[in-house]
Amino acid sequence: MKKTLVNKVIAAVLAGTMIFSLAACGDKPADTQPTQGATATQATATKAPDPTKAPDATATPAPTPIAITISLPSDEEHLEANELYDKLVAELNTYLNANITWQWQDQATYYDAEHLGLKLSTGDVADVLVVGKDASFLSAAEDGLFWDLAPYIDDYDNLATIPEATRQNASANGKLYGLPRSRTLARNGLGYRLDWLNNLGLKEPTTWDAYTKMLHEFTYGDPDQNGVDDTVGLGIDSWTGVWNIMMTWFGVPNEWGIDANGELIYKVMTPEYKTALKAFRELYEDGVINIGQEGIGGADYDFINVRAGKARDNILRTGLAGSGVQVLDDQRKVQTYFVDQGLYGATNEEGGLVYTLQGYVDTGLGALCYPTTGMNNLIAISTKNIKTEEQLRAVLNVLNKINDGVCLNLIEYGWEGETYDLNSDGYVRLWPATDDDGTVHEPVASAKYKNGFNQVIPYFTAEANARPVSTQVGGTPVTDLEQKLYAEDIQYCVPNYGASYTSYFYMAKGSDLDAIINDAQQAYIRCEIDEAALDAAIQQWWDAGGKTVTQEMNKYFKESKK
């Protein structure tokens, strides 16, 4: 397929939300500077020079600082003339062993297509810039405007911690043309009522059998002890992502897996897919999901009639259901609501947890979590001025070291006694702040000095380079648990092995293919069709284009392995 046609096809479908959809973005025109030759190839973090100590005459001289331009969006107007901005720029240059020219564009216009699209089409880009994984960027990358970073990132201690699932989602046909900016990866899971468990004498469920038993007892065992048949086990809404989360527990691929022959296989073609659907169908048959029972609101509360995202508000917070499956921050809000309303003895004190969280349940296959993409846009390095591998490694060293905890603290907090102090528990308290005695601490200049700098941080940090101090995250039993699960469950996230490949047939016909599967899946779970009809729908999907999509995906998959 000719590139012009490919680009037209991609551009025509970018607005759609599909398995392989890409997020569009734009950039500001930026003047670039020639990059000086550099030899900064070290991959490990180093401490900023201590100005109170004399230089060590026997030490190896530091590599020549690399001069680079970095183009970024800034959320608010930058106060570049103020003292703290200049101080931050100078200290970053010292720590990163670089001479950086920062190019700022208002967040509101940075991602406008007329800016980034024009820059990408002409090649007039900064040395380092934030981009979206969209058609314009991919076309420019495939034409050689950006480095493929996949062969290099494992040489750098912080960048090497980028999870495989995130790498797959950030890649394009086997190439990693930019560093993904981290977002919560292990975000999906479940929640359930601890007080109901205690009323029924049950333990917290870690297996599917225990979980389904809990759902049955939550439905039929009078968990709220009011003597009325008015509860259900699992409270969900019309958001179909709930099935994807639970499918993963059964070993269903995260969209695309790898079969016994080492080829990509779409999830509906695996035996695990039907195993999972049969388990969900049993939940429906047993009546442990909100399917319009009179005791919990009737037809209006059948999950297909509840607007996506409203299960928390309409079913879980109201005490109609005892468990939910969603993103963990959604489920956490059930507990915070109980605390705010003074319900069921829920408090922010130890022992006050009424609604708890889990990342998964084990169906016999071990820990498996359905991840998010784990990223928000990319940090790309252009080949315009960064022409040699030596220069590339110098830039990667800068982007690696900016993830060091010391550097993160400098960018986000500033300086102790000047822009923040530590509270009695040792956590960072950003200024302006007021002490108990009324003393007001104000930064010496507007805190806007740091706006935008965090846009170039990938936020992947090796344990050895952790922050010296930090702001307090969580602070209540449920928020602490939420953060704990985010960190612990990353290792269990299932990659989408097809995320970095694009079927152009799917991009043109994907919505029709998706509809075949989605309609049949819901109908099967709701006992409206039998297994033979489900098999027929899967065959229809295959004949209508599923086969073509699979062939295209495997073509690019195999080419990337050469």
**CA-based nearest residue to 161, from 491, 516, 510, 492:** 491
Q: Which of 405, 386, 464, 401 is nearest to 149 (CA)?
A: 386
Asked whether residue 174 is assigned to any structural domain, the reply reads yes
How many C-alpha atoms does 324 have within 13 Å on its Cβ side? 34
Mean pLDDT, the chain, as a whole number?
A: 87
Q: Is residue 71 part of a domain?
A: yes
pLDDT at 332: 97
**The pLDDT of residue 45:** 34
450 part of a folded domain: no
Same domain, 163 and 219: no
* 366-369 own/partner pairs: CB under 8 Å, 24+ apart: 366/492, 367/489, 367/491, 367/492, 368/248, 368/249, 368/251, 368/492, 368/494, 369/186, 369/188, 369/189, 369/248, 369/489, 369/492, 369/493, 369/494
Query: Given this model, what pLDDT does residue 13 score?
Result: 30
In this structure, the answer to whether residues 394 and 382 fall within a common structural domain is yes
Whether residues 91 and 236 share a domain: the answer is no
Token pair 């990938």: residue: 458
CATH of the domain at 29: 3.40.190.10
Is 482 found in the same domain as 385? no
pLDDT of residue 326: 97
Domain check: are 97 and 202 in the same one? no
For 191, the token pair is 């929640």
Q: Do 181 and 194 reside in the same domain of the chain?
A: no
Cα separation, 506 vs 12, whole angstroms: 12
Is residue 141 within 8 Å of 382, Cβ to Cβ? Answer: no
Residue 382 lies in a domain: yes
352 and 401 belong to one structural domain: no
Per-residue pLDDT at 8? 33
Residues 6+ apart with CB under 8 A from 420: 413, 414, 428, 429, 430, 431
Residue with tokens 């960048």: 159
Of the three residues 456, 485, 500, the one that is the final residue of a domain is 500
Q: Which residues pair with 105 in a beta bridge?
A: 73
* Domain contains 511: no
Q: Note the pLDDT of residue 446.
A: 74
Q: Are 468 and 420 in contact (CB under 8 A)?
A: no
Distance CA 232, CA 321 (A): 5
Query: What is the full per-residue pLDDT of the chain (562 aa) written as tens digits?
Result: 333 333 333 333 333 333 333 232 333 323 333 232 333 333 333 334 443 343 444 455 667 899 999 999 886 566 655 888 999 999 999 999 999 999 998 777 777 777 777 788 889 999 999 998 887 888 899 999 999 999 999 999 999 999 988 998 999 888 999 999 999 999 999 999 999 999 999 999 999 999 999 999 999 999 999 999 999 999 999 999 999 999 999 999 999 999 999 999 999 999 999 999 999 999 999 999 999 999 899 999 999 999 999 999 999 999 999 999 999 999 999 999 999 999 999 999 999 999 999 999 999 999 999 999 999 999 999 999 999 999 999 999 999 999 999 999 999 999 999 999 999 999 999 999 888 888 888 877 677 889 899 999 999 999 999 999 999 888 899 999 999 999 999 999 999 999 988 888 887 899 999 999 999 999 999 999 999 999 999 999 999 999 999 999 999 999 888 7
Can you read off the two tokens belonging to residue 237?
């809404």
C-alpha to C-alpha distance for 535 and 334, rounded to whole angstroms: 38
Tokens matching residue 338: 């109980």
- What is the separation, in whole angstroms, between the first and last Cα of the chain? 21
Shared domain for 321 and 220, answered yes or no, is yes
Let me know whether 74 and 112 are in one domain. yes
Number of structural domains in the chain:
2
Cis peptide before 253 (omega within 30 of 0): no
Q: What whole-number distance in Å separates Cα of residue 405 and Cα of residue 470?
A: 9
Token pair 């612990």: residue: 488
Residue 299 and residue 181 share a domain:
no
207-258 pLDDT per residue, tens: 999 999 999 999 999 999 999 999 999 999 999 999 999 999 999 999 999 9
Distance CA 306, CA 159 (A): 42
Pairing, β 98-106 against β 66-74: parallel
Tell whether 526 is covered by a domain: no
Q: Is 381 left (phi over 0), alpha (psi -120 to 50) or beta?
A: beta
Q: Are residues 196 and 306 in the same domain?
A: yes
Contacts with 404 (C-beta within 8 Å, 6 or more apart), sequence order: 45, 95, 158, 461, 465
* Residue 559, in any domain of the structure: no
Cβ-Cβ contacts under 8 Å for 413 (sequence gap 6 or more):
419, 420, 428, 430, 469, 471
Do 284 and 401 lie in a common domain? Answer: no
The answer as to whether 552 is a domain residue is no
Q: 351 with 221: CB under 8 angstroms? A: no
**Is residue 559 exposed (0-12), middle (13-18) or buried (19+ Cβ within 10 Å)?**
exposed
Please say whether the beta carbons of 359 and 331 come within 8 A: no
How far apart, in whole angstroms, are the C-alpha atoms of residue 45 and residue 82?
Answer: 29
State the helix-helix crossing angle for 135-142 and 3-13, rounded to 10 degrees: 160
Range of the domain at 288: 188-370+470-500
Side chain identity at residue 262, one-letter code: G
